[in-house]
Structure 1
Amino acid sequence: MELAALPQRLTVDLARTAVVVVDMQNDFCAPDGWLASSGVDVSAAAAPAAALERALPRLRGSGVPVVWLNWGNRPDRANLPPGVRHVYDPDGASTGIGDPLPNGSHVLELGSWSAAVVDGLTVDPGDLHVAKYRMSGFWDTPLDSVLRNLRVDTLLFAGVNVDQCVLATLVDAACLGYDVVLVEDLCGTTSPEFCTEATVYNVRQCFGFTTTSAELLAGLPA
């Protein structure tokens, strides 16, 4: 596939490509999820869902595997170091990882509503699911093994937050030798706009390439 991208045009082998969708889950994107319950406006996090719903069926139809990489912790939180737990509950008195929400779910817990893909996105039975426990999806998870077994070496990145978990996973992927492409409008963030601008700049400058879903769909076989 010929793909318009920045900083330069790409030729992508679809047989060796996968799309990694990061953290498009209820706790980050739903109006009654964890972030929203703590007062965060999650509309920007939910925004990529419509474009993803258009793009993913076309990618699947071209043989590109879809990997849902969602934050999903052990219920006992035994694998989480203190530093990770502190980031999400800095005063020790807020609603942190594993704590109950008003809706009865537990924050970012594997198998719970909190870790499930947000409504509005269709999950295909052939899609793959990997749970992560850090900003990066490569630490302490089978993500690298799954991708190696798929025989892919090019990764299309989507999801939230683009400046946090998406970027951390993309950087680790680049360091592991994958070719990485950030699909800008398939990503979102609740951070200020300058965080997105810095992320896009650094991806183009240091790690890989950026494109849009329009360019991606235009390049796919009919």
Structure 2
Amino acid sequence: MDQLTVVGRPEPFVLRPSRAAVVVVDMQNDFVSPGGAVEASGHDVSAVAATVEPIARVLTFARRLGLRVVYLQHGYRPDLSDLGTELSKNRLIHLAARVGQPVSAPDGTEGRVLVHDTWNTRIVDRLAPLAGDLVVRKSRFSGFHDTMLDDQLRQLGVEDLIMTGCTTSICVESTIRDAMFRDYRPLLLTDCVAEPQGRAYHDATVGLVESSFGWTAESVALLDAVVAGS
């Protein structure tokens, strides 16, 4: 099929499957799972955890359509050399979040908060990448900052980005903003993103995307469009 029309806001979104990818932002243990860094800091991760099944359904349909699936994975080198300069905001907020600290992971391994190649930064099992999926590691909120994401998407001919993941107002919004600046067309699936800081932050991002940075829809609208076009 050449294109699908998805009921959304501020108007229907015309999705071109041959030029589309689903982006899964930071659905990793530290942000989603019991025992992860976000829960350990006192935040409720239930809203983020509730997005796992809607995202899984979207990925099933996307793969049937032949859409590319892209995972963003936030984390740092074991020596934290990519954390930022001494007084950078990125360094300060992540040190406050205990980046690099050793923890006993629920799977019995020794983890480290937000360090790559540990339980903490592993994509949750239900959404684990499959062969052929693209996994992009990042050390800042935006998936485009200091990564090869832009180059890889352009090589694949991707222009339409179906956005899912966490957290709505930080890494998802940062990535959407950078996508729009590069002339990608972001579609934010509102039930496939969530915000542990509170619903107000989530709603603010949804409003900003609708007004300035892209389009929004519920995942059922996307799946209905797929069924109608098949």
TM range (shorter): over 0.9
Aligned partners of 1:48 and 1:185 also within 8 Å: yes
| Structure 1 stretches of at least 4 aligned residues deviating more than 6 Å after TM superposition | none
Of 35, 48, 53, 2:51 maps to 48
- Give the unaligned 5+ runs of structure 2: none
* TM superposition score normalised by structure 2: 0.91
- Listed one character per residue, the Cα deviations across residues 128-154 of structure 1 (whole Å, up to 9, x for unaligned) are 100010111111111111111111111
Instruction: Name the aligned partner's letter for residue 48 of structure 2.
Output: A
- Listed one character per residue, the Cα deviations across residues 118-171 of structure 1 (whole Å, up to 9, x for unaligned) are 132243212110001011111111111111111111111100000110000000
- Give the unaligned 5+ runs of structure 1: none
| Match status 1:73 vs 2:76 | yes
Instruction: Name the aligned partner's letter for residue 96 of structure 1.
Output: R
Structure 1 range deviating more: 30-39 or 209-218? 30-39
Shift of 1:10: 2.1
Distance 1:44 1:12 in 2: 27
Matched position secondary structure for 1:88: helix
Instruction: Name the aligned partner's letter for residue 151 of structure 1.
Output: G
**How many residues are matched?**
218
- Listed one character per residue, the Cα deviations across residues 38-63 of structure 1 (whole Å, up to 9, x for unaligned) are 22211112111011111101111101
Identity percentage over the alignment? 37
Whose strand proportion is higher, 1 or 2? 2
CA-based RMSD of the aligned residues comes to 1.3
Distance 1:172 1:66 in 2: 18
Q: Please list, as runs of the form range in 1=range in 2, the aligned pairs for 1:22-41 lying within 5 A after superposition.
A: 22-41=25-44
Distance 2:206 2:41 in 1: 28
Distance 1:86 1:72 in 2: 15
| Match status 1:100 vs 2:102 | yes
Structure 1 range deviating more: 32-41 or 166-175? 32-41
| Match status 1:153 vs 2:128 | no
